[in-house]
Amino acid sequence: MKDCSNPSRRELIAGLGALAAAGAVPVSAWAADGDWPTRPVKIIVANPPGQAVDIVGRLFAESFSKTFGQPFVVDNKPGAGGLTATAIGSHAPPDGYTLLISSSGPLVVTPAIKKGMPYDSLKDFTHIGNIALTPQVLIVGAGSPFKTVKDVIDAAKAKPGQLNYATSGIGSTSHLGMEAFCSAVGVKMTHIPYKGNQEALTQLISGDVALGSDTVPGALAMIKAGKLRALGIAAPDRSPFIPDVPTLAEQGYKVEALGWIGLSAPAGLPRATLDKLNRAIQAALATPEFKEKFTSLALVSIAGTPEQFEGFVRSELGKWSAVAKAANVQVE
């Protein structure tokens, strides 16, 4: 965070600027400082305080503050489905003092359906590390006649286009996930978009719509309460929070729809800083405190290298772009 009221800070900025202009110091010299961090670091979060992504951001802010000996401060920038925060994160200086809690919506789902994005999800970011997965789960109301995924498919094939499904909105992860499911199993269903996942879940419980999809954290409470029935997990592995629910792949349907949370920074982050942050992520995720908190949020932690995270973002962007194109899903 900039503190222009600090005289020494002002002088340092002026001095570096003058030297860089004279060609004596490369523009990247400050960013490449091996002593990073030497001042407070901002972590941009696209969600309001109290939501799961914000809680994750604050957990890491606290952990990083202890690890690096400098304050890491959460800066909430909600709005526009995460585009506002993500755009701000992409345009900040790549000096390690602005980080972004990145997520699947604004980085791989929205770019797949929207033209004129204010950033490029690959070129404008350094993707530091994945943090958590939030797989989609196929769900029906507790009173639904559908007990298995096969029941749904048989009904949809018997009456093409008559079976409907609820999502949290046009172009949402649940929408594209359902389109991927319909394509994979060869059925046609009618999309009923709602204003958010809670409204969609309410309609499912009432029986007004036949089928739906939400993240495991989003639907878990109602599944546990017996108001919703989970038919399949759209992930490579079963969810530890509803372990009796098989994956779609186990049932013969190759469909994956994963939400995720990660840590990113503007493109050009120095490698030394990147490696420090990636190691700090992995160390934090291994602690009992993080494991306990992630369990309470129904998040599946995932650690890996920056290269693995970069490849994952690239793969997910390609996958959702293909799904959106095939289903002709576009938003202004």
pLDDT in tens, 237-269: 999 999 999 999 999 999 999 999 999 999 999
This prediction has a pTM of 0.86
Taking only the tens place, the pLDDT of each residue in 283-310 is 999 999 999 999 999 999 998 999 999 9
Whole-angstrom Cα distance, residue 98 to residue 83?
A: 16
Contact 127, 262 (CB under 8 A): yes
Please provide residue 100's backbone torsions phi and psi, each rounded to the nearest 5 degrees: -135, 130
Strand runs labelled E in 28-178: 41-45, 72-76, 98-103, 125-141, 164-167
Please say if the pLDDT value at position 80 is more than 80.
yes
| pLDDT category of residue 9 using cuts at 50, 70 and 90 | very low
Indicate the fold that domain 7-134+259-327 takes in CATH. Answer: D-Maltodextrin-Binding Protein; domain 2 (3.40.190)
Q: Is 85 exposed, middle or buried (0-12, 13-18, 19+ CB in 10 A)?
A: buried
Percentage of the chain modeled with pLDDT above 70: 90
Residue 17's pLDDT is what? 36
pLDDT for position 331: 87
Query: Can you tell me whether residue 101 is helix, strand or coil?
Result: strand
Supply the pLDDT for residue 318: 97
DSSP 117-154: -SS-TTTTEEEEEEEEEEEEEEEEETT-S--SHHHHHH
Structure tokens at 313: 């973002």
Contact indicator for 310, 283 with CB cutoff of 8 Å: no
Q: Which residue has the tokens 């095939």?
A: 326
> Do you find a cis peptide bond into 7, omega within 30 degrees of 0?
no
Residue 260 to residue 107: CA distance in whole angstroms: 10
Asked if residue 100 lies in contact with residue 44, where contact means CB atoms within 8 angstroms, the answer is yes
* CA 113 – CA 191 distance, rounded (Å): 16
Which residues does 114 contact at the CB level (< 8 Å), separation at least 6? 171, 330, 331, 332
Which CATH architecture is the domain 135-233 placed in? 3-Layer(aba) Sandwich (3.40)
| CB neighbours of residue 169 within 10 Å | 17
Domains 7-134+259-327 and 135-233 equal at CATH topology level = yes
The domain spans of the chain are 7-134+259-327, 135-233
Backbone angles phi, psi at 18, to 5 degrees: -65, -40
User: Which residue has 């600090």 as its token pair?
Assistant: 6
Mean pLDDT, the chain, rounded, equals 90
**CB neighbours of 208 closer than 8 A, spacing ≥ 6?**
none
d(CA 80, CA 300): 26
Strands 228-233 and 125-141: antiparallel
Give the CA diameter of the chain. 75
